[in-house]
Amino acid sequence: MSGVELIHGAIGNLSFVFEEINLDFNSIKTLCFEMGKKYKDLLMILASKNKNEVILCCYISKQLVDKSSFNAVKIINSLSKHIGGKGGGQPFFAVAGGKNLKGVNGALDMARKLF
């Protein structure tokens, strides 16, 4: 997965991605951590529909967490209501699972509005 370019925008020094992708949880986690090594001020919200479940992930570069008020757990919990789920994790990486496949667009739209 190295070499994948997912950066879709930037505000100041903040690079961000809000995307629906077609990967399983382990692949999403790997992608997040690889991108986090490459981009030091990265905030990513990724959603994936896998069978009858939605996986929603929030990754924030550790350097960005240290110098801002961003918290992946708070972000993922605010977005997870769209997929009918709950989430948890750490300040830099959090995950939610839910059953509302139609809620993916709402979650990503909300993320775009927040940032």
Q: Mind listing the pLDDT tens digit for each residue in 43-83?
A: 999 999 988 999 999 999 998 898 888 999 999 999 999 99
Q: What is the pLDDT at residue 12?
A: 60
- Contact present, 107 and 19 (Cβ < 8 Å): no
Neighbours of 12 (CB within 10 A): 6
- Give SS3 for 68: coil
| Residues counted in the chain | 115
* DSSP code of residue 69: S
Residue 7: is its pLDDT beyond 90? no
Quote the CA–CA distance of 54 and 40 in Å, as a whole number. 27
The pTM is what? 0.86
In the chain the domains, ranked by start, together with CATH numbers, are: 9-114 (3.10.310.40)
Q: Higher confidence at residue 8 or residue 19? A: 19
